[in-house]
Amino acid sequence: MLLNDSVLVLADGEQFEGYLVGADLDGQAAAGELVFNTALSGYQEIITDPSYSGQIITFTYPQIGNYGVTPLDSESRSPHCRGIVVRDLVRKASNWRAETGLHEFLEQSGISGIAGIDTRRLTKHLRTVGAIPGAFGQDEELVTQRAKIEPSTEGRDLVSGVSTDAPYTVGSDAAEFFVVAYDYGIKRTILRRLVSAGCRVEVVPAATSANEVISRNPDGIFLSNGPGDPEAAPGAVETVRSLLGQRPIFGICLGHQILGLSIGATKERLLFGHHGGNHPVRNEETGRVEITSQNHNYAINIDSVTDAQLTHVNLNDGGVEGFRVTRADAFGIQHHPEAGPGPHDAAYLFEEFTNLMTTTRGRG
């Protein structure tokens, strides 16, 4: 059912009219931090990415839902975002893989959305004011109030709400490498990439201690993607700091930021973040430009750090996209090399991780 006369209100008072889609709000308002994603496809992977916990996703591409939804493309058991904003939610999917439409998927997942929005105007506004809290629903007074009191993601622990409650393992017992992966909001495609690279992976809760990880005797340690402020993930920086030098470490996105903080780097909050599938990144070692998938509001500043070597740079804003720790076998990448969704230019990084584990074995 489509409900007309709905409104999206930002914390600064900016308003947009539309109609509700997805799960019924039952007279309430959906609220979260508004960000925009510029990807042309991959909406299901984006909606089910746990990194969007606490946020409302605005899709800049005008038609969303045209190829439907299949369970095979979900990056987690259920979406963790607070809602979606689209120009046109396509009601009739056209794709042989589709098992349901996006509207029905949102209903089943308990996620509401607002459609009919001038997403061009909204995106231009977010580019000016930055990621900002907001709310949507039918009761304008209630929506306006929720928008005013909704907090940003700064300083909030969003990792605990998306991390696994108990360890689990993927991959073959006969795999060449055994990796322990910290789940800060890990995506299924990342696990598939690690398994394809020859790893058996035990995924552990974000609060798992360094001693518990080392007691498993892994060949390497993986730090996953996840939502929000890297400083707000409880104990994560201290844990990774104590793991440095004990095993090879590979961090992606939030894991990259946590690794950076563990060596003394500082974080930077980007104005509106990097969310999309077409961000150019230069590999500083090869000079090659890679098109990458990104989803983050924070970045690492390593200018003052003496034991990290810059390996990748964002060509849009010059930001840090990758570094290698020079005093330990560890490296981090800000973008999503697993391509879920996105291009495959950076997929080689999983092989770099296995090569690092092989080299470390040779030393010992």
**Length of the chain (residues):** 364
Q: Shortest CA distance to 353 belongs to which of 186, 196, 171, 169?
A: 196
Cross-strand bridge partners of residue 19: 115
Sign of the torsion formed by the C-alpha atoms of 259, 275, 2 and 122: positive
Q: How far apart are CA 357 and CA 181, in angstroms?
A: 14
Sole residue written with tokens 């058996």: 200
Closest CA to 239 of 267, 211, 218: 211
DSSP conformation class of 23: S
Given its phi and psi angles, is residue 273 left (phi above 0), alpha (psi -120 to 50 degrees) or beta? left
C-alpha neighbours within 13 Å on the C-beta side of residue 264 = 8
Which residues in 92-126 are b (16+ Cβ under 10 Å) and which e? ebeeeebeebbbbbbbebebbbbbbbebeebbebb
Enzyme catalytic residues: 253, 336, 338
Q: How far is CA 345 from its chain centroid? A: 18
